[in-house]
Amino acid sequence: MTIVHLATDTVSLVLDARSGGLPTVVHWGAPLGRPSEPELAALADAVVGPTSPSTPDEPVPLAVLPEPAAGYRGRPGLRGHRTGRAGLPSFRLTDLRVGASSVEITAEDAFVALHLVITLDLTPSGVLRLRAGVANHGDEPYTLDALEPALPVPAQATELLDLTGHWTRERHPQRRRFDLGTWARESRRGRTGHDATLALLAGTAGFGFRHGEVWGLHVAWSGNHVTYAERMPEGTATLGGGELLAPGEVILAPGEEYASPWLYGVYSGRGVDGLSAAFHRWLRDRPGHPATPRPVVLNTWEAVYFDHDLTRLRSLADVAARIGVERFVLDDGWFRHRRDDTAGLGDWFVDETVWPDGLAPLVSHVTGLGMRFGIWVEPEMVNEDSDLYRAHPDWVLARGDGTLPPRARHQQVLDLNVPEAYAFVLERLDALLRDNDIAFVKWDHNRDLPGAAAHRQTLAVYRLLDELRTRHPSVEIESCSSGGARVDLEILARTDRVWTSDSNDALERQTIQRWTGLLLPPELMGAHIGPPTVHSSGRTQSLSFRYATALFGHFGLEWDVTSADEPDLEAVALGIAYYRRVRGLLHTGEVVRADHPDPAAHVHGVVSDDRSSALFAYVQLTTSERAVPAAMRIPGLDPDRRYRATPVAPVGEPMTLGRRAPSPPRVLTGRMLAEVGLRPPLLTPEQAWLVELEAEG
């Protein structure tokens, strides 16, 4: 078979392998139905463009691994050399294995002595997975500088969207024209990064959440990485990416091989929400995806910080259990010498001066109240003021001459490729989980990595997580990295949720969660109610707004609830009960984000798979140029069914301006709700209005 067609109901991928070289992508986009092989061959011939002056005499193919030796003048898919001798690989196809939904391409270049395997897999949800592997079949080492597969996008993709940010402001969108040249997003932070883009999107002009064609690419790697979009004057446009390798970071000895990170590509014919739906379905179809209802969490960080007093923590647990919390997580400060963030990292023994009887008195108290117990760790880091560093300064990532990199958050990085360091961390974490009834680990990572250590350190962290999951399969793990700095699909292959951001500011969280949802469904995003005055921003926000923001994630609290007054505690208890009632919908349904005309407000919600129920929020972010709010149009419902729309206020009514009687339930068709909508109240800034929708009949 020389023309390959992989397809789902939402996307088609057509590969042309007739040339004998690396296959080219004829089409990645809208579904093509069930064409015959002759029809596919005719399509492949029809899309070959003419040659232009000052270019090769024959049209230049764009392979899934772009090749300069074939005449392509864009970004090469493979870059490397043998002791300074470049040698442009020109791969010849040696095998093509086609399955029902996958293709494995094997190719060789005998002169450069490289063996290449490219795997493509189109999942039922429409997510295309792509990776490349290269092996050194020569007699000398081969220095690999880059291995970056790519996928073409058509000429109608004229706009780009990606995400950027910083600590407590992760994942904010930015848009630009998809002009000639290369737009590359490179991360050299040694972790995914607060400023990393979850995906790079190319789309038709003006594409939005609910309209337009969109092509998106995600690099599943937790270390240094690159994602790029490139348009050439010759007419080709590509999305590509891979690991961003430092000079000399990967040198393949004879017989050694390297595999690129998985690239995840999605085409959507119905805007950004279609892309998100494909990613969400793929994640939910994984065997290891959390299958139990996501428990209500209370994390102690902003409640007690480093003040680990057993009596105080028991009181906090008592109140948490009374209002319906299901998981109690003890944050930083439980181990030796850890009274602030300047000391103790690496000394992973329960501090006898604070916990003379170990953690057992608190753990048994928490579990006796019917909650599960969780704990914070940061095993990849070490303080210079620690017993571990004083005993083993050679276990720290440093320059070859021993020079330490600049401290960050008073920390250095523990080199997990030192066998003794890896064994120590594994033994300490294993003992912690073995000796205590711990159901959840908040795994933090609070600094960027130095220099050219990211590749091997990232692989070592994966090995460590894999081994712990094997030994303790029932323990859930959260990826926390100064909040949301390690969010990617490869770390999520080993963890059960991410801490979306260190910001519990509900206003900031509205945008952070909205765009984290580009890739992740709500149940994988930790979202907590913080205290009335926000630690990270100083804003004071109402309980109803904080609640409505946290509701659309994996819900929890980051708040000293012993300091709350009784009316607030009663309201939170009602809110927790409501979350527990609707989490089945929120964590299985389809995320919907309306293209609302007023930038001062967001409209978003979740619709059940059978479209029988939904929960939506109208969120007033700031003051609007409109004196009266625009209608809240609600897409995603069955257009022909009738829905009872009922405003709900689980923790209390939002603050409003003007006069308006409480909204009664309305019964409207899904088409009416999508095309006309409901008129929300005139909310003050930083308020949200929640509406339940239930189909009648």
Q: What are phi and psi of 546, to 5 degrees?
A: -60, -40
Tell me if 224 sits within 8 A of 177, measured CB to CB. no
Interhelix angle for 454-471 vs 419-435, to 10°? 30
Q: CA 99, CA 129: separation in Å to the nearest integer?
A: 14
> Among the residues of 523-635, which ranges form H helices?
543-550, 566-586
Task: Quote the tokens at residue 425.
Answer: 């961390």
CA distance 441 to 373: 9
| Strand-strand pairing, 525-529 and 554-557 | parallel
260, 131 Cβ separation under 8 angstroms: yes
Question: Which residue pairs from 38-46 have beta carbons closer than 8 angstroms and sit at least 24 positions apart in sequence?
Answer: 40/3, 40/5, 40/14, 41/3, 43/14, 44/3, 44/14, 44/16, 44/18
- Environment class of 555 (CB within 10 Å of its CB; exposed 0-12, middle 13-18, buried 19+): buried
Long-range contacts of 581-587 (CB under 8 A, 24+ apart): 582/551, 582/615, 583/293, 583/294, 583/523, 583/555, 584/293, 585/613, 585/614, 585/615, 586/522, 586/523, 586/551, 586/552, 586/615, 587/293, 587/294, 587/521, 587/522, 587/523, 587/554
Q: Strand, coil or helix: what is 570?
A: helix
Q: Quote the Cα angle for 609-615-621, to 5°.
A: 130
Q: Looking up tokens 């864009």, which residue turns up? A: 74
Residue 58 has what DSSP assignment? S
506, amino acid identity: A
Residues serving a catalytic function are 444, 502
Handedness of CA 171, 174, 180, 186 (dihedral sign): negative
* Cβ within 8 Å of residue 85, ≥6 positions away: none
CB burial of 89-109 (b: ≥16 within 10 Å; e: otherwise) equals: bbbebeebebeeeebebbbbb
Amino acid making up residue 309: D
Rg of the chain over CA atoms, in angstroms? 27
- Helix-then-strand count for the chain, H and E: 12, 36
DSSP β-ladder status, 12-16 and 3-7:
antiparallel
How far is Cα 26 from Cα 23, in angstroms, rounded to an integer? 9
SS (HEC) of 621-686 = CCCCCCCCCCCECCCCCCCCCEEEEEEECCCCCCCECCCCCCCCCEEEEHHHHHHCCECCCCECCC
Where does 188-270 show beta strands of DSSP type E?
Answer: 200-203, 214-220, 225-231, 237-243, 250-252, 257-259, 262-268
Q: Rounded to whole angstroms, how far apart are CA atoms 495 and 405?
A: 29
99: tokens are: 């399955």
Strand partners, 258: 134
Count how many Cα atoms sit within 13 Å of the Cα of residue 646 in the half-sphere of its side chain. 11
The one-letter code for the residue type at 480 is: C
What is the spatial distance between Cα 568 and Cα 294, in angstroms, rounded to a whole number?
A: 23
**Alpha-carbon gap, residue 41 to 203, rounded angstroms:** 27
